[in-house]
Each structure stands twice: as structure tokens, then as C-alpha cells.
Amino acid sequence: MDNKVEFVLGIHNHQPVGNFDHVIEDAYQKAYRPFIEVMEEYPDIPFALHNSGILWDWLEEKHPDYIKRIARMTRVGGIELMSAGYFEPILTVIPERDRQGQLAMMKDYLVDRFQVEPRGCWLTERIWDPHLPDTLAGAGLEYVIVDDSHFKSTGFLSSEMRGYFMTEENGSYIRVFPIDRGLRYLVPFHDPEEVIGYFREIYENGGDQRKIAVLADDGEKFGLWPGTNDLCYRQNWLRRFCDALRANSEWLSVTTFSSVIDSVRPLGMVYLPTASYSEMMEWALPLKAQVAYHQAKEILEASGSFSDPSEAVKGGLWRNFLVKYEESNWMHKRMLSVSAKIDTDHSLKRDKALSHLYQAQCNCAYWHGLFGGLYLPHLRSAIFKHLIEAENVISDTEIVSSDDEISGESPSWKIVDMDGDGVDEILVANDSIRAWFKRRGGALRELDSVSPAFNLTDTLTRREELYHGDVKRISEEGKEDLDSAVSIHDMAVVREEGLEKRLHYDLDPRLSLVDRFLPAGDGAKSLDTGLFTEIGDFHDAFYDLETESGDGLRLVFTRKGKVAQDDEERTVALKKVISIDGSSPVLDVEYSITPEGGGLSCRFAVENVFSFLAGDAPDRYFEFPGKELDDRKLASTGEVVGVKDMSLVDEWLGLRVDLEMEPASLFWRFPIETVSNSDSGYERVYQGSAVTPAWDIESADGETVNFRLRIMVRPASGGEGTDR
């Protein structure tokens, strides 16, 4: 057995577009900087490095000394730099033109900054699609790294993956390296000698064949994940690991991906299915399927027939997130529409628009698993900010679409199926705002401020998640023992007492201008907890829509539906007219409600949600003119009587939303808060503020009652800060 085990180490560092500066700085100080400082001491232990473009840009500004260190280590062969989409998109869900643009952007940066042309690609979240060889080879890349689970799903054994393989699409070839899952779970959570023991097994059981072991994983696990900074640097895990690699160099060598493909023949051909790492495929499943997935794993594990049951139980695919979370799908389809519009533009502004588009393709806000992702409002807000800015650059107030006519009037408008659900939305824009309305419920899906670029209605529906069971369990059993965790996936921490009492779930997607008929006397508490009684069928039903142009645009939503009255259902005709003019940042909403076949006695509420990101910040608050509030912060709960006007104010952003009601209404407010998983534990996250005017209706048969709600977007005192 003369052939050594050849160990290839790959490190991937990334921070999302829109992340807080202090969060990135914390990651730099705890993980990125100390890792490089240690590895500088071991020039004979090379590794491959991928930093996302977001992180490269941040480092250039904040820590140029880090960039210089990377340049020195690259020149002497200590680092092999890898490519990827510059702003860390999931390549499989963006258009090919954008894939090539993002890959070229990263290549240009590495060539210009380090005089190195990348040969390999870090694949975002290791999300593979059989069509990717065309993309990667077309970008001039030679290899890519994926999880060994991709191979195991096609029948490979671990012992058959000690190298790399060739794959192709339409004659475009790329080399594929499988990441060793065993190493991914050992490092750095087990003693270095255990890792060496794992290598020893490969050496002793591999015969005379070449034995290549690949570990490519997040750099944040070397210092940022809970407990790992102390483990890696105070307890010197990383130095001890490097020392152990040196001590066993007689049979164990450390090399790079490029060195392997230059000196070792491929093991053969392979064709891989659409896949990602096993945890990602589990997170993509809907809740009921996740429960079944875990039950199946437990049965297989108890049988003792599988060393890793996840290899035999298959999860979903990443695109399932677009089905699981309506908000993810909406962002994705908004992004595609912006991309399509930019593709038709050939002006000098195109590059600026592309920069915004590429940033809006950063993957993190589009999905949710171990980390907050979609559940983090500041990440979603950054996506929308860049989409709105891209629209501003290309078409000013013109609504983005590539293949449908847009009215030449002001405001401009069009009808289009934006989210791909088979039902058209109507898109309206003037000089100040853009708004997307849905036929279902006649609801407002998105309201944007053009300047500053901000989505005012970006929130998240409260859903049951699988890990909510852990939140309840931990509240009963006490805190987890983090010292016994073998990976980041095993670290369960509840960051707030009583978090299990915050688990409320919404019956419908969180939209605005949602029409609800409630029993007389119902209050805000029932809406807050999601346990209210809906006695009408308007909130999620399809409305008829007509448009009336002239002095502005009028959207006329109408529907005849049912409202429960005592033991019978009453037919009710509802007409909702939304008026928008050519320049004012105002939505004027007029309601006419007429019962037929009997009187109507109930409470009518118009549910809305607005988000200014920080529910407890002192510069973000409610105003009720002439009314005293015990607590005016946006995360407060309350009921105010006789409200003619109120405001949500964000001094940091310099925006406010004013609501006017006619006649004066009962007014409810409460925060939309989710309980979600994150890298530091289970936490409560403010998603937005539900604001709901409600009117009591006592109407005779055929008697029409009228209500009016005006929504205005205006500047507020203050302005954009440096860190939210």
C-alpha cells in the first residue's frame, strides 16, 4: 500500500447581501481572520478558498490587509482560489445569461485582484442540476464540488468515491469531486486524532488505488458556529489538526483540486440527479413530508441496516422552497421579471441595473433551514431594494416585464401573472410608488416606495415548522447540552424564555387590504393569535376586476359573497375601488357593502401589514394624533377607539405610512412575529406590524354602507443610518 491518502481541503466563506456590518465583522474576527492566521503558519498545507463576492467587497473596504494576506498565500501556492456566482446565487434558478454574467464577474475579480484565473467552482449550497455542465464549462471552469450524497443517490458506495469523475451535458464536460460526509461531520467537532483515524481507515482499506478524500465546507464552522471559536483557537483544534497532518505525512498528504486533476485520472463517468446536501433536501420538504421523512429515518436507524439512513430516505429539491413559501416564490418571480426586462435594455445604464439584479439573486433570503434565511426581514428587504433599484435604473416608473404591453398613461399599469400561479395580478406604478394587487381577495400583495427603494409590505406568514416541536420540548425538558453536539445541526438552543407561547399560525398569507367579516364584538386578540372566527368568504375568494382610466386609474374589485348571520348565510355585495393618480404616493380605497335578502350585523375589518424592519427601535413608532399610547413602538399591541388617522414612522429610513379612515374606526395593531431557527438558536423575529381598521355594520336589507381608507407614503424626518 504505497499510495498515500491525498486530502483536499476546501473552504467556503460567505455573508448575505444586506447583512449587518457588525455581523460580518463578528464573523471576520471569530472565523475568517484567525483561520488565515493559523494557516499562514503551515505553508505546506494548501487549501482551496472561495469567498463570495459580497464578502470580497466587504473585505476590500474593511480589511484590505486580509486581501494582501490571501494574495501572498496564493502566490506561493498555499491557496487555490475558486470561482462561483459573484453574489452567491443558486445557479439552477436564475437565467443562463445571469449565470454566465455572475461567473464572469467573479473570474474578472480574481484575475484583476490576484492574477489568478479560477479553474474550479464552489457550487452554492451544493445545489446540482444535470444541466450545469453546460453552464460551468461555458464559463471556462474545469471542476466543481458536490456532496457525496449526490453520488450515493445513484448507487455509489463511499469506497467508490475516492477521486473525481467526469460528467457532461450536450458534450460540455466538467470534473466533479464528491465531498466526504464523514469528514464534514468530524471536522472540527471531533478530536484531530479521530480525523486522522478516519484517514487511516481509508489508507488501510483502499488497496493500491489512489485514495483522495475531500472536505469542502463552510469556513464559519471554524470559529463562528456556537462553541467553535473556543474549540478551534483557544483549544487550538486547528493547529493540532495541522500538526497531526504533518506528523502523518509519510502516508497522508495535503493537496489541491487542481493538483489532483493535473496528476490523477478520473474514476470514470457519472450522471448526477438534481440534488443538494441531505439536510437541504429535508428542509425543502413540506411539514407533513418532513415528519414522515424523520419517521422513516428512525425506523431505518432502529433496524441497524443502514449506517446513514439519510442515504436511503430521499428529501425534496431546492425549488420546493418556492412552493413551501409563497414569499420565496414571489421574490423569485419578481427577480425573473427584472432580469427579463434588463435583457432587452442596451443602454449605458444596463451594467448598473445588472449589478442590482445580481445582488438580488443572492440565495440566502430565498430559503430557510438551519439558518434564518427567508425568516430574516433585513435579508428579504435587501433583495427587494436591489430589485426596485434595478427597475428605477432601467425604466423609471415603467413596470418591469419583457413581453407584455404597458399602458402609456400615468400611472402605468398592466395585468400579468407575476407569481406564476395561473391567476393574473395587476401592476400599477407612478412616480412615487409601485403596487401589485391580487385578484384573490382583491388584496395588495406588494407596495414599494420608489425613493428610497423599499418594499413597505414585505412580511412573512406565520407557519408551523418542524423544529417548533423542539421549541416546545426544550421548554419542558430544559436546555440542550451543546458539548454533546456532533455538528451544527445538533445544536438546539432557545434564546428566550416562554418562546413556545409565541407560536401562532396564520390561516392565510399575510397581505394588505384583506377584507374580513367578523362577529360583532370580536377584538384584536383573536386576529393576533390567528384564532378568530371568519364569518365571510371574501378574504381569499376571487374578485371581478375592471379598470377605469381618466384622471388617474381606478381598480374596481367586486364580488358577491356570503356572510354568516345567526344560523343562515346572507348574500353580500362588496365593491372595493382603489384609485391611484399619476404622481401622488397615495392609494385611495373606497368600500361599498350591501346585504341582500336580509340585514347585516357584524364587524368589517380591513387587515394590512407594513414592515419597517425594527419593531423595538425608538426611531420606528406609531403615531395616533390626539391619542395617548402606553407603548408606541411598532412591535406594540393595542386597540384605539375613534381613529380618523394614524401613522407608522421610520426615521432611520426616512419614510412613513399614513392611514386615514372615514368614518372614524376602531383600530387594532399588533406585531407579526415568527419563531424561527438560526445559527445561534431558536429566536423570535419581528416581521412587521398588522394594522387593522374595523367598523361595526348594522345594515338593513339592501342598505349600502360605505367606508374609506387612504394609504399614503411620505417622507419622514431622519434618514438612512449606517447600521440598522
For residue range 607-622, list pLDDT tens digits in order: 999 999 999 999 999 9
Of the candidates 276, 307, 322, which is a domain's last residue? Answer: 276
Span 378-406, mean pLDDT?
Answer: 76
Of the candidates 251, 276, 301, which is a domain's last residue? Answer: 276
**pLDDT at 501 > cutoff 90:** no
pLDDT for res 722: 40
Residue in the block written with cell 376586476: 545
pLDDT for res 238: 98
Of 243-257, 288-302, 330-344, 556-570, minimum mean pLDDT range = 288-302
Cis ω before 411 (30° cut-off from 0): yes
**DSSP letter string over 430-492?**
-SSEEEEEESBTT-EEEEEETTTTEETT--------TTHHHHHHHHHH----GGG-SSGGG--
pLDDT for res 485: 44
Confidence of residue 123 (pLDDT cuts 50, 70, 90): very high
Give the Å distances, CA to CA, from 57 to 21, 53, 524, 689. 12, 6, 46, 34
- In SS3 terms, 559-617 reads as EEEEEEECCEEEEEEEEEEEEECCCCCEEEEEEEEEEECCCEEEEEEEEEEECCCCCCC
Integer distance in angstroms from the first to the last C-alpha of the chain? 58
Structural domain contains residue 461: no
Percent of the chain past pLDDT 70, that is, above it, reads 93
**pLDDT at 403 > cutoff 60:** no
> Tens digits of per-residue pLDDT, 156-180?
888 899 999 999 999 999 999 999 9
How many other C-beta atoms are found inside a 10 Å radius of the C-beta of residue 551?
8
Of 187-201, 579-593, 643-657, 708-722, minimum mean pLDDT range = 708-722
The burial of 546, by beta-carbon neighbours within 10 Å (0-12 exposed, 13-18 middle, 19 or more buried), is given as: exposed
Span 472-499, mean pLDDT?
Answer: 64
Please name the residues in contact with 394: beta carbons below 8 A apart, sequence gap of 6 or more: 341, 342, 345, 347, 349, 350, 353, 400
Q: Which residue has the higher pLDDT, 406 or 562?
A: 562
Q: Is 417 a catalytic residue?
A: no
pLDDT for res 450: 96
**pLDDT at 397 > cutoff 70:** no
> Tens digits of per-residue pLDDT, 442-479?
999 999 999 999 999 999 999 999 999 999 998 887 65
- Is residue 568 within 8 A of residue 532, CB to CB? The reply is no
Angle, helices 350-360/96-114, rounded to nearest 10 degrees: 100
Residue in the block written with cell 455573508: 15
- Is residue 494 within 8 A of residue 471, CB to CB? The reply is yes
Domain range for 478 is 468-502
Structural domain contains residue 308: no
Q: Per mean pLDDT, which of 298-312, 389-403, 465-479, 681-695 is the most reliable?
A: 681-695
Amino acid at 566: D
pLDDT for res 486: 47
The C-alpha angle 382, 387, 392, rounded to 5 degrees, equals 120
d(C-alpha 370, C-alpha 309), whole Å: 20
pLDDT for res 564: 95
Q: What is the mean pLDDT of the chain?
A: 92
d(C-alpha 679, C-alpha 198), whole Å: 27
Amino acid at 288: K
In three-state secondary structure terms, 305 is coil
* Grid cell of 523 as nine digits: 377584538
How many other C-beta atoms are found inside a 10 Å radius of the C-beta of residue 351?
11
Span 305-318, mean pLDDT?
Answer: 80
Structural domain contains residue 109: yes
d(C-alpha 420, C-alpha 79), whole Å: 44
Structural domain contains residue 190: yes
Active-site residue, from 25, 218, 345, 537: 218
Of the candidates 459, 476, 502, which is a domain's last residue? Answer: 502
- C-beta contacts of 340-349 below 8 A and 24+ residues apart: 340/95, 340/400, 340/401, 340/402, 340/403, 341/391, 341/394, 341/395, 341/400, 341/401, 341/402, 342/390, 342/394, 343/95, 343/97, 343/402, 344/402, 345/394, 347/394, 349/393, 349/394
Q: Which residue has the higher pLDDT, 515 or 397?
A: 515
d(C-alpha 56, C-alpha 109), whole Å: 9
DSSP β-bridge partners for residue 177: 145
User: On the CB side of 38, how many CA atoms lie within 13 Å of its CA?
Assistant: 21
For residue 494, the 8-state DSSP code is B
Q: What is the pTM of this model?
A: 0.94
Confidence of residue 495 (pLDDT cuts 50, 70, 90): low
Residue in the block written with cell 435587501: 382
d(C-alpha 636, C-alpha 668), whole Å: 10
Confidence of residue 3 (pLDDT cuts 50, 70, 90): confident
Structural domain contains residue 334: no
* Grid cell of 608 as nine digits: 394590512
* Grid cell of 594 as nine digits: 350591501
Q: Is 351 a catalytic residue?
A: no
* Grid cell of 331 as nine digits: 421574490
**pLDDT at 109 > cutoff 70:** yes
Structural domain contains residue 354: no
> Tens digits of per-residue pLDDT, 512-521?
999 999 998 8
> Tens digits of per-residue pLDDT, 551-582?
899 999 999 999 999 889 999 999 999 999 98
Q: How far is it between the farthest Cα atoms of the chain?
A: 95
Q: Per mean pLDDT, which of 274-283, 650-659, 675-684 is the most reliable?
A: 650-659
Active-site residue, from 6, 98, 125, 658: 125
**pLDDT at 114 > cutoff 70:** yes
Pairing of strands 655-678, 638-650: antiparallel
d(C-alpha 54, C-alpha 19), whole Å: 10
Structural domain contains residue 325: no
> Tens digits of per-residue pLDDT, 56-98?
999 999 999 999 999 999 999 999 999 999 999 999 999 999 9
Total count of domains within the chain: 2
> Tens digits of per-residue pLDDT, 182-196?
999 999 999 999 999
Structural domain contains residue 270: yes
Confidence of residue 408 (pLDDT cuts 50, 70, 90): low
Pairing of strands 514-518, 454-455: unpaired
> Tens digits of per-residue pLDDT, 673-715?
999 987 778 999 999 999 999 999 999 999 999 999 999 999 9
CATH number at residue 220: 3.20.110.20
Span 642-661, mean pLDDT?
Answer: 97
